[in-house]
Structure 1
Amino acid sequence: MPPAVYLLGLAVFAQGTSEFMLSGLLSDIARDMDVSLPAAGALTSAFAVGMVVGAPLMSVLSLRWSRRGALLAFLAAFLLAHVVGALTHSFGVLLVTRVVGALANAGFLAVAVATAAALVAPDAKGRATSVLLGGVTVACVAGVPGGALLGQEWGWRAAFWAVVALSVPALLAIPHSVPADEAGAEVPDARSELRALRDARLLLTLLLGALVNGATFCAFTYLEPLFTRVTGFGDSWVPVLLALFGLGSFVGVTLAGRVSDARPVPLLTTGGAALLAGWVLFALGAGHPAAALVLVFVQGGLSFAVGSTLITRVLYAANGAPTLAGGFATAAFNVGAAVGPALGGLAIGAGLGYRAPLWASALLVALAFVAAAAGASVLRGKVRGEARRKVSGEARGEARGTRTPGS
């Protein structure tokens, strides 16, 4: 694996820490900003909305930039947004910085995915993707619990300053590690690549990714109040429990990276079924500390194993859009990241309790299975229809060819 891929994973680690760390900081932010817990949860949804809008938009805007220049510009903007977020005392300004940071994050991740895929062999996209997503899972293991610990000791702003500090080394190293674009390289055609979105298989994969990631974020965003108010763990346990989710995520994405290129369908079907069952079990057993300890690890692993495999399938399905494939994947997965926390917040706000996000996660995975079955049926129907039309056309051609003059 080229060293540049690991460097991009380091930058994704800093950004993943920012994206996930609010799970351990929501209560602190809500108290400091004098807003409700669901309102504080909107910071996660705002970040996800920025990612959704930013992924395709920033990908298209950066087509005429060099990949190295685009990565530097996006990472610098991300860093500055977190400086402002750490300094502000206005919830509205903080919300805006989350959107701006997300736009920059989306652009960086979209370009990074395309860059990593271009740097490896055509059949190694799954491994390259697992390295990038490994940065996110390491953020869950170390960055997110570390952010929660910083928040408990010095307030949530310290966690934002930590993200700034993590971003600086990657910003300084990119110019020396990411290869420059070849001179005279052809500028990609955005219109032709956007036409790839007409492909039914690609659209189905994007939908499944959005649903599965929505389930992940729906549960993960509200783990802190679940553990402290339902399971009965003290605040000091929250970083440990978040680290368990992250450790499971790292194991899941690493194993998926070794399997997803060669055997994606068995991984998705088996892993998806286990993921659905796990969310149901978690909702039922959330009041038991031992069950919660096991399931937070297992669900982290299953969520990222299935999710990273779907990202890899997007890269393979988007053959007609090699440059914007990363933007497609990033946008779809962050549709889920926006809808998931919003759905969980609505459930809590409706008085359904802190287990409700887990039930919502199970529902989203179940919907993914329904969508997969319906989509597969439609695709099979299209294939059969095309085959019949081809056979019919060949038969008509043969009939015309055998017709004799004057007949």
Structure 2
Amino acid sequence: MPLSLIILALSAFAIGTTEFVIMGLLPDVASDLGVSIPGAGWLVTGYAMGVAIGAPFMALATARLPRKAALVVLMGIFIVGNLLCALASDYNVLMFARVVTALSHGAFFGIGSVVAANLVPANRRASAVALMFTGLTLANVLGVPLGTALGQYAGWRSTFFAVTVIGVIALLGLIRFLPHQRDEQRLDLGAEVSALKSGRIWLSLGMTALFSGSMFALFTYIAPLLGDVTGVSPHGVTWTLLLIGLGLTLGNIVGGKLADRRLSATLTGVFIAMAVVSTALRWTSVALIPTEITLFLWATATFAAVPALQINVVSAGKAAPNLVSTLNISAFNVGNALGAWVGGAVIARGLGLTSVPLAAAALAVLALILTLITFRQSAGPDLAPAAR
């Protein structure tokens, strides 16, 4: 296992922690800065929009740089953004700092996944990408609860100072251990943009958005579902989220290995599993043990798709790997917003929390249909088969 992959995973851990830890710190931030909880919640939205909109622009801005240099620049922006968060004097400065931090997120994961795939033989590319994204899953398992605990003990700013330190360590690791890829092709802006004419790319991005929509339709409302339907205590919700995090980590690793063997079958199987398990939660959510088992299976099945989806878009957009893989991260965030809206709309229409898993299952079915269409048409010149 190349040490450089560990450094990329550490970078992903830092980025994932700073993205999600704000959710656990919202009450502290709102109280300290004198804003409402919904107002503080816009810090989450601002970050997501910064990722979705800023990612392709940052990919284009760094397109002429070698990938190692691009990753170093992006991690530098991440460090500056987190330091600004820690030093923010008011809400507006914190929002600005969150958006600055988000600018590095999508492009780093996009370019980083290309680098990770190129560090290993072709038959291990998805596993390498999965290892990098393990940092993101560990951010949910360890980074978020530890960051929240630190913020509650020493003030929310201490969490962003801690993430800044992790970012500096990751930056030094990138500079020291990430190799220069001598055979790397420098892609100009025209080549990057013109490659987006491929229909296969947009089908693949649609698959990613629908996948993420299915995941976040359920994940966004998991706490009220557990509390109001299953009857789990707030402390119990924390342990359930830890269990989900373990499932996400396992799924990420297994999904990478499966995608290395057969990409299309992996994505097809994952979306079927997501639809079935999400539907099952509609009935199992009324009892504790069945709920815990179902959610672990759901988390494992769900994150098995992540490395496969990333490799899928890179295979579809070989002429513009930096931009296309970064757009995939934007598609993830578009799906996040879509899923949260769909789940909220189900609840707002009075269908109840137990209908949210069914909405998630419906989005998984749509992702499955799009997957079947994509790989059925892959025989055409514009829709070449994804790498196996």
Alpha-carbon distance between aligned partners in 2 of 1:117 and 1:304, rounded to the nearest angstrom: 18
Alignment partner, residue 240 of structure 1? 239
Deviation at 1:201?
Answer: 2.3
> Residues 342 and 168 from structure 1, CA distance in 2 versus in 1: closer, same or farther, beyond 3 angstroms?
farther
Using the TM superposition, name which of 25-34 and 117-126 deviates more. 25-34
Answer whether contact 1:77 1:104 (CA < 8 A) is retained: yes
Answer whether contact 2:268 2:371 (CA < 8 A) is retained: no
Using the TM superposition, name which of 128-137 and 349-358 deviates more. 349-358
Amino acid in structure 2 at the alignment position of 1:236: H
- Residue 128 of structure 2 aligns to a residue whose secondary structure is helix
Answer whether contact 2:55 2:103 (CA < 8 A) is retained: yes
- Residue 167 of structure 1 aligns to a residue whose secondary structure is helix
Cα deviations by residue, 1:111-134 (Å, 9 ceiling, x for unpaired): 212222232223332121111111
Answer whether contact 2:76 2:171 (CA < 8 A) is retained: yes
Alignment partner, residue 143 of structure 2? 143
- Residue 123 of structure 1 aligns to a residue whose secondary structure is helix
Amino acid in structure 2 at the alignment position of 1:54: G
Answer whether contact 1:41 1:345 (CA < 8 A) is retained: no
Which structure is larger by alpha-carbon Rg, 1 or 2?
1
Alignment partner, residue 8 of structure 1? 8
Alignment partner, residue 203 of structure 2? 204
Cα deviations by residue, 1:25-80 (Å, 9 ceiling, x for unpaired): 4565566654355x555433332222222222111110222333322221122122
Alpha-carbon distance between aligned partners in 2 of 1:228 and 1:93, rounded to the nearest angstrom: 35
Alignment partner, residue 54 of structure 1? 54
Alpha-carbon distance between aligned partners in 2 of 1:316 and 1:87, rounded to the nearest angstrom: 41
Alpha-carbon distance between aligned partners in 2 of 1:96 and 1:345, rounded to the nearest angstrom: 27
Deviation at 1:352?
Answer: 5.6
Using the TM superposition, name which of 272-281 and 335-344 deviates more. 335-344
Matches within 5 A, 1:19-38: 19-26=19-26, 34-37=35-38
Alpha-carbon distance between aligned partners in 2 of 1:214 and 1:252, rounded to the nearest angstrom: 18
Alpha-carbon distance between aligned partners in 2 of 1:62 and 1:88, rounded to the nearest angstrom: 28
> Residues 97 and 348 from structure 1, CA distance in 2 versus in 1: closer, same or farther, beyond 3 angstroms?
farther
> Residues 65 and 270 from structure 1, CA distance in 2 versus in 1: closer, same or farther, beyond 3 angstroms?
closer
Answer whether contact 2:267 2:371 (CA < 8 A) is retained: no
Alignment partner, residue 194 of structure 2? 195
Whether 1:162 aligns to 2:177 is no
- Residue 63 of structure 1 aligns to a residue whose secondary structure is coil
Amino acid in structure 1 at the alignment position of 2:293: V
Cα deviations by residue, 1:74-107 (Å, 9 ceiling, x for unpaired): 1122122223334446444433333221111122
Deviation at 1:191?
Answer: 1.7
Give the percent of matched residue pairs that are identical in Structure 1 and Structure 2: 33
Deviation at 1:349?
Answer: 5.7
Cα deviations by residue, 1:324-378 (Å, 9 ceiling, x for unpaired): 332232222222123333444555566665556544422321221233345566x
Cα deviations by residue, 1:160-200 (Å, 9 ceiling, x for unpaired): 343223222112222111123649x7531222232222222
Alpha-carbon distance between aligned partners in 2 of 1:325 and 1:95, rounded to the nearest angstrom: 27
Alpha-carbon distance between aligned partners in 2 of 1:251 and 1:102, rounded to the nearest angstrom: 26
Answer whether contact 1:125 1:315 (CA < 8 A) is retained: no
Alpha-carbon distance between aligned partners in 1 of 2:193 and 2:181, rounded to the nearest angstrom: 22
Alignment partner, residue 277 of structure 2? 278
> Residues 199 and 350 from structure 1, CA distance in 2 versus in 1: closer, same or farther, beyond 3 angstroms?
same
- Residue 261 of structure 1 aligns to a residue whose secondary structure is helix
Deviation at 1:157?
Answer: 4.3
- Residue 323 of structure 1 aligns to a residue whose secondary structure is helix
Amino acid in structure 2 at the alignment position of 1:257: G
Using the TM superposition, name which of 255-264 and 359-368 deviates more. 359-368
Alignment partner, residue 324 of structure 1? 323
**Contiguous gaps of at least 5 residues in structure 1:** 387-407
Alignment partner, residue 178 of structure 1? 178
Whether 1:122 aligns to 2:122 is yes
Alpha-carbon distance between aligned partners in 2 of 1:312 and 1:169, rounded to the nearest angstrom: 27
Answer whether contact 2:201 2:324 (CA < 8 A) is retained: no
Amino acid in structure 2 at the alignment position of 1:321: A
- Residue 163 of structure 2 aligns to a residue whose secondary structure is helix
The TM-score normalised by the length of structure 2 is: 0.86
Whether 1:219 aligns to 2:215 is no
> Residues 259 and 376 from structure 1, CA distance in 2 versus in 1: closer, same or farther, beyond 3 angstroms?
closer
Name the count of aligned residue pairs.
381
Using the TM superposition, name which of 59-68 and 346-355 deviates more. 346-355
Deviation at 1:254?
Answer: 0.6
> Residues 292 and 31 from structure 1, CA distance in 2 versus in 1: closer, same or farther, beyond 3 angstroms?
farther
Alpha-carbon distance between aligned partners in 1 of 2:234 and 2:154, rounded to the nearest angstrom: 14
RMSD over equivalenced CA pairs, Å: 3.0
Answer whether contact 2:129 2:307 (CA < 8 A) is retained: yes
Matches within 5 A, 1:83-102: 83-88=83-88, 90-102=90-102
The TM-score normalised by the length of structure 1 is: 0.82
Alpha-carbon distance between aligned partners in 1 of 2:290 and 2:30, rounded to the nearest angstrom: 29
Amino acid in structure 2 at the alignment position of 1:222: Y
Alignment partner, residue 110 of structure 2? 110
Alignment partner, residue 267 of structure 1? 266
Alpha-carbon distance between aligned partners in 1 of 2:155 and 2:227, rounded to the nearest angstrom: 18
> Residues 123 and 55 from structure 1, CA distance in 2 versus in 1: closer, same or farther, beyond 3 angstroms?
farther
Alignment partner, residue 405 of structure 1? none
> Residues 68 and 373 from structure 1, CA distance in 2 versus in 1: closer, same or farther, beyond 3 angstroms?
closer
Alpha-carbon distance between aligned partners in 1 of 2:29 and 2:347, rounded to the nearest angstrom: 18
Alignment partner, residue 386 of structure 2? none
Amino acid in structure 2 at the alignment position of 1:5: L
Alignment partner, residue 338 of structure 2? 339
Cα deviations by residue, 1:263-289 (Å, 9 ceiling, x for unpaired): 222222222111112222224433432
Answer whether contact 2:138 2:249 (CA < 8 A) is retained: yes
Alpha-carbon distance between aligned partners in 2 of 1:356 and 1:305, rounded to the nearest angstrom: 24
